Each structure stands twice: as C-alpha cells, then as structure tokens.
Amino acid sequence: MSTITERPVATSPAGAPVAELAAGSTSRGRDFGAVVRAYVSLTKPRIVELLLITTVPAMMLAAQGLGSLWLIVVVLVGGSLSAGAANALNCYIDRDIDQLMRRTKRRPLPTHTVAPRSALIFGLTLGVLSVSLMAVFTNWLATALTLGAIVYYDLVYTKWLKRTTSQNTFWGGICGAAPVLIGWAAVTGSLSPAGWALFAVVFFWQMPHFYALAIKYKDDYARAGIPMLPVVASMRRVNLEIVLFAWLTVAASLAAWPLGEGLGPVYGITAVVSGAIFVLEAHRLQGRSRRGEPLKPMRLFHWSTTYLTILFVAVALDALV
C-alpha cells in the first residue's frame, strides 16, 4: 500500500476548487481584455493618431504659439472621440464588405467579437460625447465642423460615395482634412486663408496616400464590389492622378508658407525638401508601371505618412519660434 497521502484539494466556501476558480477568473480577465481591445480597434487608432498630428500644429499656427494648453487638450480629446466615432460607425456600415476583404476580415464585426448593435451604440455614444465636449468648451463653428465631419464620413462617404463612384477617395478627402479646420476654428472662431491652405495640403495628400493602398489591395476591393480607382481604371490613369495630386499637395504646402503668418524658414525648407521627395516617389511609382516592373505601392504609402508628419511638425516648430 502506498504511503503517499493525497493532499486535500483546496476549495472555496461554495465548494468549487480554488484552481478552477483561478482558471475561470484568468479566462474572464483574458476575455474582457480581448473585448476592450476590440472596441479600441473599432476606432482605428492609427487613423486617429494621423488626424491629430495635423490638428495640433494647425492650432499652434492659428494661436501664433503654443496657445491654450487646456484648449489643445479639449480638442485632442474631442477630436479623438469624433474620429473614433466616425470609424466605429464606418465599421458598422461596412460590416458586409469587411468580411469579404483579407485586409479587413479580422476586424471585430467580421470576427463576431463585437455585435453590430453594440458597435452602433458605441459609435453613436462617442459621437455624442465628442460633439458635446466641443460645444461646451470651444465654439459653434468648431462644433459644427466636428458634427459635419462625422455625418459626412459615415453617411455621405461610407454609405454612398464609397460604394458608387471611383471618385470616392477624392470626395472622401473632405472629412479627412476637416481636423485642420476644426483645430483652427477652435482657436480663432473663424477660418482664414492659411487654415484653408493647410486643409488643401491634407486634402490633396489623401489621393496619393490612399491610391497607393488601393493598388496594393486592388483584388480585395474588387471582391467586395468597391469601385476604387485602381479597380475600375487603368494603371496609367491611376498613376497619372497620383503624380498630379502629389504635385498639388506640394503646391498647397508652398502656398501656405506666405499665407501663414509665423511660418518661417524651418517650414519653408521642410516643405521644399520633403515635398520634392514625395513627388519623386510618386514619379518613381509611375515609372515602374511604365516599365512593367513590380509597383511596390506601399513604399509611397509609408513615405506619404512620413511626409505629412514631418511637414506638420515643421508647422508646429515655426509657430513656436
């Protein structure tokens, strides 16, 4: 007979083994963490971050310096909530096509991590919070622009333009560039030529940026029936528009130099040098297409993000100086 005695299994007051309770607790914690991450991913944090990179420098230029830190915080929070709301509602509206595309099929709605109704309520709640925050702490123009950007992105762009026209990226660029105007309006209560010039930079920039992404995921968009330009037009046409809008982006950035009081040599040199590289990358993609070489559109996509960041950092630096 064995002399080894079994240790009694520790139990909770209810009689359940402690180890099982601990495992269940760990599992619940893990599930809760996954749900939180799913809701955060609905807001598309990378897009929110990019929008805020353009907003704060625009506010600093409008204020001719750092301005009110409190106002910057309010607009950052309100802008994050606004963009998060628009993106969450976009995920709700696009749930039918997201499950058809490799790039988006892992989003929370196609994977059933978040229920459609929950995503809708989440997006609407963020939207109400963002507009309320802007209404209480900024002014009517900034608030109206915030509400307008959400409505335009989800109802005009996502629900209609994205699914019906190859010019969806062009017209969708309005809401993508809106944060610049929102930040400017929050500081001044009005819109000036300098603010519109920075708006034009972001507006034109979106075509080379998103056309490059659409080239990469052309088959995805075709499978989902989305008429992105690379799906319905020749590569010659797509590359021509990429080059055209890259030049227009740089032209707008140079126009902002004399219009923006406070923009000095730091911004001017940055706009010229970074703009030249941006245009060069656009022409390089066009050249690869003409020679029948692999296009590598993501090179332009990633550089375009870097370009916009560098340019608006230069706006902030000159505003401070």
pLDDT at 30: 54
For tokens 């929008």, name the residue: 51
- pLDDT per position as a tens digit, 51-82: 788 999 999 999 999 889 999 999 999 999 99
Mean pLDDT of all residues in 236-247: 95
**Model's pTM, two decimal places?**
0.87
Nearest alpha carbon to residue 277 among 252, 296, 300: 300
CATH architecture of 53-190: Orthogonal Bundle (1.10)
User: What are the tokens at 217?
Assistant: 């995921």
Q: Is the confidence at residue 163, as pLDDT, over 90?
A: yes
**Tokens 């989003």 map to which residue?**
107
How far apart are the C-alpha atoms of 6 and 3, rounded to whole Å?
A: 10
Supply the pLDDT for residue 33.
79
Of the options 1.10.540.10, 1.20.120.1780, 3.20.20.70, 3.40.50.11930, the CATH number for the domain spanning 192-321: 1.20.120.1780
Query: Residue 69: CA atoms inside 13 Å, Cβ hemisphere, count?
Result: 0
More confident residue, 70 or 28: 70
Measured CA angle at 102 (ends 96, 105), to 5 deg:
45
Taking the C-alpha atoms of residue 250 and residue 246, their distance in angstroms, rounded to an integer, is 6
Whether the pLDDT of residue 95 is over 70: the answer is: yes
The residue ranges of every structural domain in the chain are: 53-190, 192-321
Residue type, 76: L
In this prediction, residue 321 has a pLDDT band, given cuts at 50, 70 and 90, of confident
